[in-house]
Amino acid sequence: MRSFGLLFLAITGCVFAGESVILKSGSTLHIDRHEADGGKIRLYTGAGFIEMDAVTISSFEADEVIPTVPVAPPPVAVVTPPPTPAPSPANMTPQELADAAADKYNLPRKLVRSLMGAESAFQSKAVSPKGAIGLMQLMPATAQTLGADPNDPVQNVDAGTRYLRDLLVKYDGQLWHALAAYNAGPGAVEKYRGIPPYQETIKYIYRIHDAYTKP
């Protein structure tokens, strides 16, 4: 038993995974595992094994397994992608130009698109029999007053939307009056003190109103 005592003293200060042997004397021995061989018990440790009489052992208890704390991976470098540049006005579609101008002049996007659709069917090179030019069908004199080149789609849409905004302000937000003035001119609205009785203008107003208000 002397060899057992020396082994016990050598390992009592260490912590092992495996199980504990509870001796009838009250002592505890940490081992890796054990095997029964008749009236003997083999107690295995990393250095080998020892044999003891089974009657000297009270019980075996599994050691509590302390889970290994996983090592956190290195932090992921978060790279903020550069903001997607807004498309250049020169590369915008007519619809995008309408939306940008609507936002600039605080008008509903759908209204500006509806007016553009009625005026030019979104064709930047459209020219009317009366000489109106471009997406918003600006007359040369009107474009000159607004300081815009009517042949430049960006300037055309910006000026036409600004003109619509100014007409809405002029007529206290009355959409039909503003549309009538856009189509037939403010002089006609003043002359008739409201919507002029022009078939073309009335159809124009209805067309834009329907496109603007439909779901």
**Whether residue 190 lies in the annotated active site:** no
Residue 127 CB partners (closer than 8 Å, separation 6+): 133, 134
Phi and psi at residue 35, to the nearest 5° = -135, 140
Compute the distance between CA of residue 198 and CA of residue 52 in angstroms, rounded to an integer: 118
Phi and psi at residue 87, to the nearest 5° = -60, 145
Q: Are 57 and 22 in contact (CB under 8 A)?
A: yes
Active-site residue, from 19, 119, 190, 200: 119
Residue tagged 């471009």 (tokens):
134
Please identify every residue annotated as catalytic: 119
